[in-house]
A and B are shown apart, each in its own frame.
Chain A
Amino acid sequence: MARARRLERKPVLAVIVTAVFFAWLYLPILAVALFSLNDKKSLSSFGGFSLRWYDDLVHNTALLDSLVASLKIATVATLGSLVLGTMLALGLERVTSRRGRVIGAVTLLPLVTPEIVTGVAALLLFTGIGLKLSMTTVILAEITFSIAYVTVIVRGRLAGIAGEVEEAARDLGCTPSQAVRLVTLPTLVPALVGAGLLVFALVFDDFVLAFFTTGVDPQPLPVRVYSSIRFGVSPAINAIGTLMLLASALLIVAALWVPRLFNRGGASSLDLITGGDQR
């Protein structure tokens, strides 16, 4: 009896560890959101609610330019890496030779290469071939870096759908290219949405690659934020951080709901990222 009661006891330690974990994770972020509403310029004492830093932000053209630049970079890099990464995944799926498997493994290298190495390498390459550092070079570097993520996610989904699906399409009258267009790609939509959201989030706030490959103006947002805190943090940074937090929260909600809207009951792209609901 005593033994049974012991087993039924609440897992106090587990609850405490979980609470500490979440506090550690989210309290600093909450602080940023709170201090973005601070009336004072201080980052340590709170002097009442105010929207003055949001007002400041709206008039800070340099910061806004950087925000727009980062959004552009993330959008173009997402689209570019989706196209290239999906093509790579589809190609690797058809290769069965040993050499093909080696190529497949090599494509994963950017995932484990220290980003600073990738950054320096990109910088050396661009200056070596005489390409002027600009938003274009940032985008090129980010695409290179993101292809691996897209390929991994898309290949995961490809492995989940039976190889017979494409054969079924050809059996029912599709040429090989029609089979990819009419069956394989539509089946991959949840994976593409998931990969796209992930890459967008990674590229949007990527600092290291952007720092090495950006030109002078407009700098990507993370680089701009970093250079401005060297001269003391303006609470406007808190404001833009809070706005970005809200935007990413919206993206997560979208990731949850958008696939459900056109694929009732199907696996959402969030499941794909979190690895839940494997089917």
Chain B
Amino acid sequence: MSTPSVSLRGLTKDFAGATVVDHLDLDIARGEFFSLLGPSGCGKTTTLRMIAGFSDPTSGTILVDGEDVTCTPPHKRDVNTVFQSYALFEHLDVRGNVGFGLRRKGLDRRTIDARVSEMLELVELGDRHKERPNRLSGGQRQRVALARALINQPKVLLLDEPLAALDLKLRHAMQAELKAIQREVGITFLFVTHDQDEALSMSDRVAIMNDGVIEQCGAPEDVYERPSSVFAAGFIGTSNLMSGTWTAGCVSVADLSIPVPGHQGSAEGDAVSVTVRPEKIWLSELTPQMFRVSGTIVATSYHGATTQYVVSIGPDLSLTVLEQNLPQMRADDRWHAGDRVEVGWLPEHTVVLT
């Protein structure tokens, strides 16, 4: 394996006695789009700031492209940051902002001019190059911030929730654009976000962070389909969490015995939590291979493309079920609160959590 773009070894940060980042070990491959996903206060931004050099680790090392930069000041690190607030220089126009890093490197004017023009084309800001940042829209400011960092061709680009300030539609457009730009320039992106959709749709790999540790790290499909911890399952998407005990190859939850084929490592009587994603549960067209259970619809909510049902299985157990509103279905074919239903899912969709 080639040298990773970023390697963190035992990275730890204490703030006033509290451990914000706790012995983090992580390798990010060259050219990878990697997301740190987690709730606010989980340590993801602190991790990013330590890699950028704005915050000193309490212990541990940071390697960028194999080189130890733990004690290197930010201006000597070959990484650049896109800040959440964009942090544009209001006294300079768009060109001045984008060319700032190259001027600090002492490149000659002709080269800087050419590269700034090229970068502005890439982010589609060629016609606004003489504007002051305060005359630009949120999306345009975001592009300036991106161009200003990318033009330096850093080993790693750090992005601190760069899309959080944009409205939903613009955010979706920028997600696609950011991903396209990343493919084009081939620079390693380390993206920090609390937005699971953003992380899943853009990343090659996602690390879910909680309380200063990485709960799970893997491809978006892996972390969604096969969450490894209760936190990971709960943080990404909706999950039907059921806690029970391991009894004779099944998980006993209330009076249900949920089969978990292929699961190993639990002893008789162990506490085990399992989860099923709502879209994996069927309300109709059940097949014999499915694990089935009957219940009562207690709530429905219509979301346009999908409808979400809450099905009560037992006194303390209810399942959330997501059905697509397919073309052959009419409004009066849907279920209503109070209907008795049978739900079922394939045993392999039951995921055991640790």
In the assembled complex, the Cα of A169 lies from the Cα of B83 at a distance in Å of: 11
CB-defined contacts of B92 to chain A, threshold 8 Å? 186
Q: Is the CB of A266 within 8 A of B152?
A: no
Q: Does A128 contact B (CB under 8 A)?
A: no
Q: Which residue of A lies closest to B152 (CB)?
A: A172
Among A66-74, A106-114, A160-168, A207-215, the stretch that binds chain B is: A160-168
Instruction: Name the interface residues of A246-279: CB closer than 8 Å to any CB of B.
Output: 263-266, 279
The 3 closest A-B pairs by CB, nearest first: A173-B104, A168-B87, A164-B87
User: Nearest chain B CB to A233's CB is how many angstroms away?
Assistant: 48
Residues of A within 8 A of B117 (CB): none
The answer, yes or no, to whether B138 is at the interface (CB within 8 Å) is no
A-B contact pairs, 21 of them (CB 8 A): A164-B83, A164-B87, A165-B88, A165-B89, A167-B74, A169-B100, A170-B54, A171-B75, A171-B79, A171-B81, A171-B149, A172-B80, A172-B101, A172-B104, A172-B148, A173-B105, A173-B152, A178-B104, A186-B91, A186-B92, A264-B132
Shortest Cβ gap from B262 to chain A (Å):
48
Interface flag for B354 (CB, 8 Å): no
Does residue A202 face the partner (Cβ distance < 8 Å to B)? no
Indicate if the CB atoms of B84 and A171 lie closer than 8 Å: no
B214 vs chain A, min Cβ distance (A): 25
Report whether A266 and B54 are in contact in the complex, using a CB–CB cutoff of 8 Å.
no
Chain B residues, Cβ within 8 Å of A263: 91, 132
CA of A175 to CA of B91 in the docked complex: distance in angstroms? 19
Alpha-carbon distance between A265 and B136 when the two chains are bound, in angstroms? 11
Number of interface residues of B (CB under 8 A): 28
Contacts of A172 in B (CB 8 A): 75, 80, 100-101, 104, 148-149, 152
In the complex, residue of chain B having the shortest beta-carbon distance to the beta carbon of A185: B91
Q: Are A265 and B132 neighbours in the complex by a CB distance under 8 Å? A: yes
Residues of A57-109 contacting chain B, CB below 8 A = none
Chain B residue nearest in CB terms to A167: B54
Say yes or no: B89 contacts A183, CB within 8 Å: yes
Interface residues in A148-190 (C-beta closer than 8 Å to B) = 161-162, 164-165, 167-175, 178, 183, 186-187, 189
- The reply to whether B83 and A174 contact each other, CB–CB distance below 8 Å, is no
Report Cα–Cα, A162/B53, bound state, in Å: 18
Contact A171 B132 (CB under 8 A): no
Which residues of A sit under 8 angstroms from B90, Cβ to Cβ? 161, 187, 266
- Whether A164 touches B84, Cβ cut-off 8 Å, given contacts A172-B100, A173-B105, A265-B134, is yes
Residue from A162, A173, A175 with most neighbouring chain B CB atoms (10 Å): A173
* Complex Cα spacing A174 to B91, Å: 16
Interchain nearest-CB distance for A39 vs B (Å): 53
Q: Known contacts being A167-B87, A172-B101, A187-B89, is A279 close to B134, with CB within 8 Å?
A: yes
Question: Contact at A175–B75, with CB atoms within 8 Å?
Answer: yes
- A170 and B134 in contact (CB under 8 A), knowing A187-B90, A189-B91, A266-B90? no
Whether B179 sits at the interface, judged by CB under 8 Å, is: no
- Min distance, Cβ B321 to any Cβ of chain A, angstroms: 44
Residues of the B chain whose Cβ atoms lie less than 8 Å from the Cβ of A264: 132, 135
* Complexed CA–CA distance, A265 and B105 (Å): 30
Does A171 lie within 8 Å of B91, measured CB to CB? Answer: no
Would A162 and B83 count as touching, CB distance under 8 A?
yes
Taking CB atoms, residues of chain A closer than 8 Å to B74 are 167, 170-171
Are the C-beta atoms of A168 and B105 separated by less than 8 Å? no
B138-193 contacts to A, CB under 8 A, are: 148-149, 152
Nearest residue in A to B49 (C-beta to C-beta)? A167
What 20 new A-B contacts, CB under 8 Å, besides A161-B90, A172-B101, A264-B132?
A165-B89, A167-B74, A168-B87, A168-B89, A170-B74, A170-B75, A171-B74, A171-B79, A171-B80, A172-B148, A172-B152, A173-B105, A175-B75, A183-B91, A186-B89, A187-B90, A189-B91, A263-B91, A263-B132, A279-B134
Chain B, range 46-64, C-beta contacts under 8 Å to A: 52-54
- Whether B287 is near chain A, meaning CB under 8 Å from some CB there, is no
The distance in angstroms between the C-alpha atoms of A263 and B53, with both chains bound, is 32
Check A173 against B89 for contact (C-beta < 8 Å): no
Q: In the complex the two chains form, what is the Cα distance from A170 to B79 in whole Å?
A: 11
A21 to chain B, nearest CB (A): 35
B85 touches A171 (CB 8 A): no
Partner of A168, one of B53, B83, B91, B135: B83
Contacts of B80 in A (CB 8 A): 171-172
- Are A173 and B101 also in contact (CB < 8 A) when A263-B132, A266-B132 are? yes
CA–CA, A162 to B79, complex, Å? Answer: 21
A residues 178-228 near B (Cβ < 8 Å) are: 178, 183, 186-187, 189
